[in-house]
Chain A
Amino acid sequence: MEEIINFTFSVYTENNVGILNRLSAIFLKRHINIESMSVSKSEIENVHRFTFVVNIPEVLARKVAGQLEKQIEVIRAFYHTQDEIIYNETALFKISSEHLYDEKLQKKFKFRRAHILTITENYFVIEASGTKENIDKMYRKLKPYGLLQFVRSGRIAITRPKMAISELLQEFN
């Protein structure tokens, strides 16, 4: 068996209706589960950036990137290992206010990148950001207090290597 690796795909596309469907179809047809996804504008005007996180072997990642890039409205598709990116995920935890002054709990979210976002009479909300592992850990710690709600964002990532999209667009034109 080939080694399964956590890859982050960065896909630069035109900003049109339907592209997400087209991209996700490529993962779907190879029966690949998408761990997380986010979309936003990118550093270039009118160019969008999709970030997909998947666990697949490297050979497969190369094929998927090729098939993503082949789509007409995709400018470039890159894939990176965790070492090649600086990435982040954000999570929100909604907890009943009865625990607000629980010292043990206070200690738990004192970790580097968590803070209280809102406090109301009935609940308070903790925001945490970090790696998937950081957030998983936080989740395990807070779970016993009864999470009223929990949500976490898709990964966003910046790559260490250069991704020369502007140059590429120049070249296309």
Chain B
Amino acid sequence: MKTLNKEAKQKETAKTVKISGAEAVLNCLLAEGADLAFGYPGGAIMPVYDEIYKYREKFHHVLTRHEQGAIHAAQGFARVTGKPGIVFATSGPGATNLVTGIADAQIDSTPLVCITGQVASHLLGSDAFQETDIIGISTPVTKWNYQVTKASEIPEVIAKAFYIAKSGRPGPVLIDITKDAQFGELDFSYKKCEKIRSYRAIPKFDTKKVKEAATLINSAKKPFIVWGQGVIIGEAEQEFKNFIEKTNIPSACTGLGLSALDTAHPLNVGMVGMHGNYAPNVLTNSCDVLIAIGMRFDDRVTGNLETYAKQAKVIHLEIDPSEIDKNVKTDIAVLGSVKETLVDIMQYVNKGDHSEWMKEFDKLYQIEKETVIDDQLNPIKQGLTMGEVLSGINKETKGDAVIVTDVGQHQMFAWRYANFTKTRSNVTSGGLGTMGFALPAAIGAKLGVPNREVIAIIGDGGYQMTCNELGTILQTRAAVKIVVLNNGYLGMVRQWQELFFDKRYASTEMVSPDFVKLAESYDIEAQRVSSRGNLAQAIKTMVQSKESYFLEVVIEKEDNVFPMIPTGASVSDIRLS
């Protein structure tokens, strides 16, 4: 089979071999360098699983406990490695269980290749057992999808799937393969896809625009950068750093942009957005030139658009033309890969000095520190805060760990207080805000970068959405560290109820099982901490463990995340309490 793969990589003259569609699937994946998949078997995908069995020496399959777990694991894998995550599921319920993860990957630009089994082609449309129209269902949330009904289509379609998932602005693709196409035979040869005539992965680069942008940047008195995940996806971290260090422009990130630049970098002024830092949010409405790099002006970032950076000229570096002017009107749009643009722009931008302007950030940081941060990191109240857990983790990991977060208050605390020294270290569900994401995503991340420390930070609510994946840890022995920040509430929703619904806590109080016993029943060492005195040691034990470890921290019940931009408010009206 090895020689077959080698040949497949060679041009069109590749020799062909007769194999089944199912075997072709595996050969295609191996030819793309993918040797790890996450999935769950069932009737309509059994021929493929039979090949997974036969190829088990060179192709690894992780059996999760639910298809949602499989796809989130694949997302975690993709986010830390930059490679497409591979997912297998059967037809019907197997396929529909993927939908949340597909939507999540689409909105967070995560490359995935999902392969679902489908009923035999002669049964399509007949409401056969476990038939669902997964193509119809997944169309609005995939970058591309395709139903294969003939074995002979498989190599070309999978080659296209990889190209589309990875190139340009990445995203999830779904290939639905009927059972007869899996059983059918084809003359196999594989050729990677390098272009599709109707698809331009990277828009045409226009040096003129780069020059215009540079001129505007050079003339700016109070320039301000907001960068997003585009810097990470475009592998432009170094170029980005070079650019800001030359121009000396204060830079803030979106939630998904975290970890592209060291937290401690002197030009890193924090995070923008609903629970971002005070200074960058407020000063968004004071800068004269706003330079958006690989970000899409999500409403969680901009607050009220009517009052967002109206005084500023806006420069937008972006790979996806449909993002230009979608939410914020730009003055100069520079289309293309961020990396290419940032390399090119270096010759036109002047060395800058914005120390006076930088002082405004420092001043507002002090206010945030005194009113919010100190309270979190050095609390005097009895109850534990989420912030101090994060800062304890920072101390033990030196900011080297991959932090995987679920959705809620703990996520915001993690974004705010986790330190990052390496890129691709913040794995989170940003655009969709999918509770249940973190545990399976952490498993996928750990399997993607086994040599890195991977710590999942999860709320008591979200944990119970996918804690069945402890079974996957049991089976794979993935050394994921799990921290559940237990406040006994669906905390983020409770916070909104407190602030905007007169404390009517409708269905947000949550009774939980004994999480320590639960972890132990999966053979995971576990500990619960409810007093400050035991926290540091517990974190140390967890980080030093070579195996998976579970730590529950009992948190002050009714703590809130601040600062906060209430919905509909302006970024500069961010509340400190």
Contact = CB atoms under 8 A, between A and B. Distances in A.
> Are these two chains actual partners, yes or no?
yes
Contacts of A95: none
Nearest to A12: B198
A18 B145 contact: yes
B164 interface: yes
A72 B322 contact: no
Contacts of A75: 197-198
Interface in B112-149: 135-136, 139-140, 143-147
A14 interface: yes
Contact of B320 (A28, A63, A70, A72): A70
Given A63-B322, A69-B322, A21 B197 contact: no
B325 interface: yes
Interface in B180-212: 195-200
Contact of A74 (B164, B198, B324, B326): B198
Nearest to A14: B198
Interface string B305-347: 0000000000000001110111000000000000000000000
Given A66-B321, A72-B164, A172 B200 contact: yes
A158 B346 CA distance: 45
Interface residues of A, number: 22
| Residue of B136, B195, B197, B325 most packed against chain A (CB within 10 A) | B197
Interface residues of B, number: 22
A173 B164 CA distance: 16
Nearest to B320: A70
A29 interface: yes
Nearest to A67: B322
A62 B325 contact: yes
B198 A70 contact: no
A168 to B, nearest CB: 9
Contact of B140 (A14, A29, A62, A74): A29
Nearest to A29: B140
A70 B136 contact: no
B254 to A, nearest CB: 21
A70 B321 CA distance: 8
A70 B198 CA distance: 10
A25 B140 contact: yes
A17 B146 CA distance: 9
Contacts of B143: 72
A66 B322 contact: yes
A13 interface: yes
Nearest to B329: A59
B328 to A, nearest CB: 12
Contacts of A141: none
| Residue of A13, A63, A70, A75 most packed against chain B (CB within 10 A) | A70
A69 B135 CA distance: 20
Nearest to B321: A66
A73 interface: yes
Contact of A21 (B136, B144, B198): B136
A105 interface: no
A73 to B, nearest CB: 5
A73 B144 CA distance: 9
Interface in A47-97: 62-63, 66-67, 69-70, 72-75
A113 interface: no
A22 interface: yes
Contacts of B322: 63, 66-67, 69-70
A147 interface: no
Interface in A90-113: none
A62 to B, nearest CB: 7
B326 A63 contact: yes
A79 to B, nearest CB: 14
A63 B329 CA distance: 12
B196 A72 contact: yes
B213 to A, nearest CB: 21
A169 B195 CA distance: 12
A72 B325 contact: no
A13 B326 contact: no
A25 B200 contact: no
B30 to A, nearest CB: 24
A172 B204 CA distance: 11
A25 B139 contact: yes
A132 to B, nearest CB: 29
B147 A17 contact: yes
Contacts of B195: 172-173
Nearest to A63: B326
A169 B321 CA distance: 18
Contacts of A173: 195, 197
A28 B141 CA distance: 13
Contact of B199 (A17, A22, A67, A72): A72
A18 B135 contact: yes
B164 to A, nearest CB: 6
Given A169-B197, A172-B197, A18 B139 contact: yes
A70 B319 CA distance: 11
B141 to A, nearest CB: 9
B106 to A, nearest CB: 12
Contacts of B196: 72
B283 to A, nearest CB: 28
B211 to A, nearest CB: 23
Contact of A13 (B135, B146, B198, B325): B198
B351 to A, nearest CB: 36
A169 B198 CA distance: 7
Contacts of A62: 325
A42 B23 CA distance: 39
A52 B493 CA distance: 41
| Residue of B135, B139, B143, B164 most packed against chain A (CB within 10 A) | B139
A73 B196 CA distance: 9
A170 to B, nearest CB: 10
B38 to A, nearest CB: 24
Nearest to B140: A25
Nearest to B324: A66
Interface in B448-481: none
Contacts of A28: 140
Give 4 closest A-B pairs by Cβ, nearest first: A66-B322, A25-B140, A172-B197, A75-B198
Interface of A: 13-14, 17-18, 21-22, 25, 28-29, 62-63, 66-67, 69-70, 72-75, 169, 172-173
Given A18-B135, A72-B199, A173-B197, 6 more contacts: A18-B139, A62-B325, A63-B326, A66-B326, A172-B197, A173-B195
8 contacts: A18-B136, A18-B146, A22-B139, A63-B325, A66-B322, A66-B326, A73-B144, A173-B197
